[in-house]
Each structure stands twice: as structure tokens, then as C-alpha cells.
Amino acid sequence: MKATINLASEPFRRDRPILIASAAVGVFLLLTLGVLVSLIITDRRDLKEGRAALDQATRRQAALTAEQRKLDSDLRQPANAEVLERSVFLNSLLYRKGISWTKIFADLEKTVPNNVRIISIQPQVNAQDQIFLQMVVGADAPEHAINFFAKLEASEFFGSTAVSSVIPPSQTDPLYRYRLSVNYAQRF
């Protein structure tokens, strides 16, 4: 039998791996602290630049608002208001004059099937300067009209179609009549 005798007042411990691991974790935490501090400094600098840009944009907006108020007050004067109304009226007339009937009929010719008849067309311009057509069309059967509406919506010149009323055939008129509104994008 072999007996182990320890003459030390405290037993031997293997603390070296724990100390090395603790030192490595400490170094890692110190590096992480450095990265976080640099991120905070960068974030503060970016925040300062962002606030400066926001202040500059706010000052510019205030200057533009003041200029807009001045221009609006000039336009509200009686002499200028009359000129403005006349200008808006003339611009709307010129825009309406720019609607080409020939182009409308050429675009419809590519879209209207043979079994659908166009009874009336009224081009109109809305407040956003978009053209839409109020039309009354006639068809022998509802399927033909539905096919026509699908072709209108699939066309590159026409957009969404809204049917406002349907009149069934009568003794004097053998056609189904549809009143519809369709967006129109005239290409020049």
C-alpha cells in the first residue's frame, strides 16, 4: 500500500485554467466595451448631424412657407385673382382642345369588337388633368358588352371601367345599352 502524504498546509489546487479563462473573458469583455463605446460615439455624431440636417430642413421649410404665404397674398388681391381665374380657365380650354377625337376613335377601333356599337362619347377632364370618357354602348347580348369591358381594361390606352346603368332591350331598341365611364390615357 502506498499512502500519499501532503505536507502543505493547504491542499494543491489546479487554478491555472480558471485564471487563464478568466483573463480571456476579461480581455473579451474589455474589447466589447471598446466596441460599444465607439458605437456610442458614432451614434452621437450621427445624431448630431441628423439634428443639424433637420434644423436646416426646418429653416428651409419655414422660408418656403413664408414665401408661399407672400405669393398667396399677392394672388388674392382682386386684380391678380381675376388674372389667375382667367389663366386657369384658358389652361383648361387648351387642355380640352388637346384631346384628339381622331386618336380616341383610332384607339377605340383597336378595342371595340364587331358586335358592340358605340352610341355616344363625351370626353371629360377631371381636377387631376386626367381624361375619362363617358360612353353609351349597345350590344346584342350582355356577353358581348362584358367582353368589350374586359378588352377596355386590358388595353394600354384605357383603364378601369365603371358601368353606371344598364337598359335592357325594348320593342323599339333591340340592344342592351350600357352607360359607362372609362379612364383614357391618350398617347400623342
Cα dist from 11 to 5, 8, 21, 68, whole Å: 11, 6, 22, 88
Residue-range domain boundaries for the chain: 15-76, 99-184
pLDDT digits (tens, 9 = 90+) for 6-23: 666 676 677 888 999 999
DSSP letters, 43-101, are HHHHHHHHHHHHHHHHHHHHHHHHHHHHHHHHHTSHHHHHHHHHHHHHHHHHHHHT--H
What confidence score (pLDDT) does residue 96 get? 65
pLDDT digits (tens, 9 = 90+) for 25-64: 999 999 999 999 999 999 999 999 999 999 999 999 999 9
pTM flag (> 0.75): no
Edge-to-edge strand ranges of the sheet holding 176-184: 116-125, 131-139, 176-184, 158-167
Find out whether 122 and 131 touch, Cβ atoms under 8 Å: no
pLDDT digits (tens, 9 = 90+) for 164-185: 999 999 888 889 999 999 988 8
Q: What angle do CA 139, 145, 150 make, to 5 degrees?
A: 155
* Three-state secondary-structure class, residue 147: helix
Q: What angle do CA 150, 152, 157 make, to 5 degrees?
A: 145
- Work out the percent of the chain whose per-residue pLDDT is above 70: 90
CATH 3.40.50.300 fits 99-184, yes or no: no
